[in-house]
Structure 1
Amino acid sequence: MTTKPPAGSGEGKPEAPEKRLRADARRNRDKLLEVARAAFAEHGVDTSLEEIARRAGVGIGTLYRHFPTREHLVEVIYRREVEALCAAAGDLARDYPPDVALAEWMQRFVDYIATKRGLAGSLRILLTTNCDLFSDVSSMIMQALRSLVEAAVADGSIRDDVESSDVLLALSGIYSAPDTPDWRDRSRRLVSLLMDGLRWGAPKAEAKRKS
């Protein structure tokens, strides 16, 4: 569903590119994205835009200046979530041992899926109008996961018959799980089980068992 600005509001024209925003405008935009992401993840994409603006402490006209339609808001949130998820792969790889970095990233994938489920309705609309968005996203996520999996395999902390595409397929199954109140907690447990399976029989685990 595409939501347009109120008639006669004059708020339907997007602002200048993000890099040109004044500091206060950038703060408003970032706050709107933060509030909208949380609202969509919790209540779905049909959450009132007026309520999002209210929670962000701005007027509805400010929201429409930054995001002329609901789908525009959804696309920006989705891109940001993917970029944050992929950037986390490098940060975790720098700060943790390879298998721990992979485990932590997969737990973050649960949060990404939670946001994606909340945006599902508008993402289906975007799929018909912006196929490049989804091909770009798939490539970015696969590249991030592959770097973590390959590092853990090379380190001997996960089994060496693992392919990153298999891991992504297992993780993606979380998306289709029933949307129950305990969905997030259950998904985190499933990710932990998956990680246990990746470690089972790994060279480091076998060496430790035999020592």
Structure 2
Amino acid sequence: MRADAKKNRDHLLEVAGTAIAEQGADVSLRDIARRAEVGLATLLRHFPTREALLDALLRTSFDELATKAGELEASKSPEDALAVWLRDCVACATEFRGVTTLMAAAIEDVESALHVSCVTMRAAGARLLVRAQGAGVARTDIDGTDLFALIAALAWLGDQPSLAPRADRLFEVVASAILTNTGS
């Protein structure tokens, strides 16, 4: 990619990230283009669909979460690794308002631009969960798909103004329900 094209793409991502954080995942693409001071055609040339734009925004964070899962496996106890990763994952999912619904749909839709990123993140969490289950510190009646759903539910709480103040406490409730050997 040419340097100027990369600069334009990065600028579009920065503007889109701000717009989605403020207005949610269904923000108008035309509004994003206007804020970035480019035409809609320019935005669509870089990101032909809303999902492609969201994938570009989220992929880096999801890849970092997958990498962090591996680092946590090597450096933390099973329960600490899972708890830290869960908190980081929920924080990532709440960074951009309204993406949890899209993530939940994308995990099942192999045609979705977000599918691979969501599957990668789910697999990373599943590895941490299986490790904690093997150590006897996590419920054995849940799997990676359940964990992904719980992350989405916790992130959804953060998107709801009336419930957001309860999100941290409810995270602790859910974490202590998953991790059987802690009082998280």
The interval holding the TM-score normalised by the smaller chain is: 0.5 to 0.7
Tell me what 2:46 maps to: 66
Is 1:187 equivalent to 2:156 in the alignment? no
Tell me what 1:149 maps to: 129
Partner of 2:27: helix, strand, or coil? Answer: coil
Paired residue for 2:111, among 100, 115, 132?
A: 132
Q: Distance in 2 between matches of 1:111 and 1:29?
A: 25
Tell me what 1:164 maps to: 143
Q: Distance in 2 between matches of 1:120 and 1:194?
A: 17
Paired residue for 2:19, among 39, 58, 66?
A: 39
Partner of 1:47: helix, strand, or coil? Answer: coil
Aligned residues: 176
One-letter code of the match for 1:195?
Answer: A
Residues 176/114 of structure 1: CA separation in 2 closer, same or farther (3 Å cut): closer
Q: Distance in 2 between matches of 1:191 and 1:132?
A: 31
> Higher Cα Rg: structure 1 or 2?
1
Residues 90/183 of structure 1: CA separation in 2 closer, same or farther (3 Å cut): farther
Residue ranges of structure 2 left out of the alignment (5+ in a row): none
Tell me what 1:101 maps to: 81
The answer to whether the 8 A contact 1:98-1:151 is kept is: yes
Tell me what 2:9 maps to: 29
Residues 163/27 of structure 1: CA separation in 2 closer, same or farther (3 Å cut): same
Q: Distance in 2 between matches of 1:192 and 1:88?
A: 21
Normalised to the residue count of structure 1, the TM-score between the two structures is 0.60
Tell me what 1:18 maps to: none
Q: Distance in 1 between matches of 2:151 and 2:50?
A: 28
Cα RMSD (Å): 3.7
Runs of 4+ aligned structure 1 residues displaced above 6 Å come to none
Shift of 1:70: 3.8
